[in-house]
Structure 1
Amino acid sequence: MSATKVSDTALAVSIPEEKQSKAIPSGTSGVKSFLSGGFGGMCLVLAGHPLDLLKVRMQTSTEYKSTLDCFRKTLAENGVRGMYCGMAAPLVGATPVFAICFWGYDMGQKIMRSAYNLSPTDKLSTNQILFAGGFSAIPTTAVMAPMERIKCTLQVGSASATGVVYKGPADAAMGIIRTGGITSLFKGTCATLLRDVPGSVAYFGAYELIKKSLTNQSAGQGSISPVAIVTAGGLAGMANWTVAIPPDVLKSRLQTAPEGRYTGVRQVFVEMMRTEGPGALFRGMGPAMLRAFPANAACFLGVEISLQLMNKAW
């Protein structure tokens, strides 16, 4: 940190002091929360999609020995462009998904302020921040579940047992609907919620606490260091996946399985424990963690910068 202190100060993002401890400040309008979250989501997808693809392929197949092995085989089979297979769906979906996520986080904070009769400038306690983080996952799941279903289906593609290859998100969505009906798009919704509620608690909680700690040490009063934002955002992403990877494995298995293969996430878990053991719950941990830092660092930096620009504009 000391090696970057000079450039850190020069690049400091100036934000009013009372807003320092919140990714989405309490006084921020819902529109700004929505827009800044959407921009952050786009930054996340662009930075982290190749490693997300490796994660999903490792979770849904036993043919890969390691993250490096998965990378080599994917690259040999599909080329560099293949590393971005299925990106259109999350990129298009990133704006509403992360917009709703950060809007939900803002709403969770406002619920806490209303419940505890706090003013917009009062700092929330750690427990209140954790509640707001968990609350954000509830509205997000309604949009996230079908997007994840399409993304995982595209990412597995020819590597799946069915061997079905779709041309793009629209083709995959139509194929899913033809096979299992419109409700099939929402297969894995409970698993998504099971992943994202505790994951979001860890995500936003870690971000706020780490950023506050780093800001106090490396940035002057009334400012947030970009390095503090990037570090806190990256570590928050890793905290999220530390909690979320087991339910994410279950979700990926459920969403990419042939129609009618599983009755629900419970059956996926029982069969996985019986045939592969507890270690299977952590498949894809390597690429998930490798992706988590740069992707979420980009996400939170995008959120903070876009929010600052909007605050200056109106």
Structure 2
Amino acid sequence: MEDERFRIRPHQQICSAITGAVTTSLFMTPLDVVKTRIQTQQKALVSNKCFLYCNGLMDHLCPCPANGNGKNGIRKPVVQLNGTVDAILKISRAEGVYSLWSGLGPTLVSALPSTVIYFVAYEQIKRQMTSMHHSFYDKSSDKMPLYVPLMSGVLARIFAVTAVSPIELIRTKMQSQKLSYSDLSKAIKELVRNEGVIALWKGLPPTVLRDVPFSGIYWTCYESIKGYFNVTTPTFQFSFLAGAAAGMISAFVTTPFDVIKTHRQIEFGEKVIYTSNPVRDLPKRKTLESLVRLYSSNGLPGVFAGLGPRLAKVAPACAIMISSFEYGKSFFYRYNEKNYYDKEHSPE
């Protein structure tokens, strides 16, 4: 898909990214609903106020539901759930099949902008960096050097999280204080007036440290797999398997950072969001310091806590997202190719 005549346009990349994000949510949301239902019936939770789950596109911090119906479409199960299949069957019978997709709408509204920016930025940066490399360093080879997907993934993720950080801040404020849109507007204006525009990007550094390593490793692994098998236009099956493999490798390497991130978000939920007396300033700890403390208290198993469930979640999410995205790109490339030749052979 490198022919300039048929190159995929940015708006076509956007459509491909949206298709991938929607497809990933449709497949992954039922698994998350099941997981959270099972978690809420357990007696020993990490936190008695909130819990964290991810639907394959983004993380969500949610309150632990009390008796009766909880928030965010998560209800206390009326029957004992024993495993994934059992939970799917019992929830479907008791509440209807559609309950397996509880919270899908808010997820898409929150995750689509970030996903679209991320994938389109990656494609554009990769294209420019590859072109520059071949122009200045290696004109005889058309192979992509490893630093291109690495840097493209890193820069695309930084760009995406920076662009949506104000949106995430607004979402968190609405979630924590139950503000109306007019109250929210006043709160944001007050924040900017007191602390400047930069205050809209509070919390950006921890997010970057959490997501950037995963993105760099993921795209490097994915593009390396394509290069190893000499694949330029991957089939749906190939991109699915390659995406799953790259996702598992990235998830394994970055699990310690994910553990630290989860602890911080749970602490933030307990002490700031889901409490009547929110703490104004949480203690700030460096990531390396947190890892050392965690290793000292729990050893290697503590640093890699939740590795199995994380791999089970990340692998299919990455596989569905990248295969849907690549399929969309192939579709639009063939579409552009057909249009080009139709114009070439059309009568004047």
Same fold, judged at TM 0.5 (above): yes
Q: Normalised by the size of structure 1, how large is the TM-score?
A: 0.64
Change (3 A) 1:34 1:223: closer
Tell me which residue corresponds to 1:131. Answer: 151
Tell me which residue corresponds to 2:110. Answer: 93
Q: Distance in 2 between matches of 1:270 and 1:86?
A: 36
Tell me which residue corresponds to 1:195. Answer: 210
Tell me which residue corresponds to 1:28. Answer: 8
- Structure 1: any 5+ residue segments left out of the alignment? 1-15, 20-25, 64-72, 154-169, 217-221
Tell me which residue corresponds to 1:219. Answer: none
Query: Any conservation in 1 of the 2:7–2:333 contact (CA below 8 Å)?
Result: no
1:82-131 per-position Cα deviation (integer Å, ceiling 9, x unaligned): 87565444322332112111122123213423543538x94421222222
Tell me which residue corresponds to 1:289. Answer: 311
Q: Which runs of 4+ in 1 moved over 6 A?
A: 73-76, 146-151, 181-185
> How many residues are aligned here?
259
Which structure is richer in relative contact order (CA contacts within 8 A, separation 6 or more)? Answer: 1
| The structure with more helix, counted as a fraction of residues | 1
Q: Flag the structure with larger Rg.
A: 2
Give 1:232 deviation, angstroms. 0.7
1:179-198 per-position Cα deviation (integer Å, ceiling 9, x unaligned): xx799986643222112222
Q: Distance in 1 between matches of 2:262 and 2:105?
A: 18
Question: What secondary structure does 2:8 align onto?
Answer: coil
Q: Distance in 1 between matches of 2:100 and 2:200?
A: 24
Tell me which residue corresponds to 2:20. Answer: 40
Alpha-carbon RMSD across the aligned residues, in angstroms, is 4.3
Q: Normalised by the size of structure 2, how large is the TM-score?
A: 0.58
Give 1:138 deviation, angstroms. 0.9
Tell me which residue corresponds to 1:161. Answer: none
Change (3 A) 1:214 1:230: farther
Tell me which residue corresponds to 1:70. Answer: none
Query: Any conservation in 1 of the 2:239–2:319 contact (CA below 8 Å)?
Result: yes
Give the aligned residue type for 2:309: P
Tell me which residue corresponds to 2:119. Answer: 102
Q: Distance in 2 between matches of 1:42 and 1:244?
A: 25
The residue correspondences of 1:176-255 to structure 2 (distance < 5 A) are: 188-214=203-229, 224-255=234-265
Q: Distance in 2 between matches of 1:146 and 1:272?
A: 31
Query: Any conservation in 2 of the 1:52–1:291 contact (CA below 8 Å)?
Result: no
Tell me which residue corresponds to 1:61. Answer: 46
Give 1:139 deviation, angstroms. 0.7
Give 1:268 deviation, angstroms. 5.0
Question: What secondary structure does 1:299 align onto?
Answer: helix
Q: Distance in 1 between matches of 2:305 and 2:169?
A: 18
Query: Any conservation in 2 of the 1:97–1:140 contact (CA below 8 Å)?
Result: yes
Q: Distance in 2 between matches of 1:150 and 1:305?
A: 34
- Structure 2: any 5+ residue segments left out of the alignment? 49-63, 66-73, 78-86, 92-97, 193-197, 273-280, 337-348
Give 1:303 deviation, angstroms. 0.6
1:310 to 332, 337, 343: 332
Q: Distance in 2 between matches of 1:210 and 1:114?
A: 21
Give 1:225 deviation, angstroms. 2.8
2:175 to 169, 172, 175: 172
Give 1:200 deviation, angstroms. 1.0
Give the aligned residue type for 2:146: T
Q: Distance in 2 between matches of 1:115 and 1:223?
A: 22
Question: What secondary structure does 1:28 align onto?
Answer: coil
Tell me which residue corresponds to 1:7. Answer: none
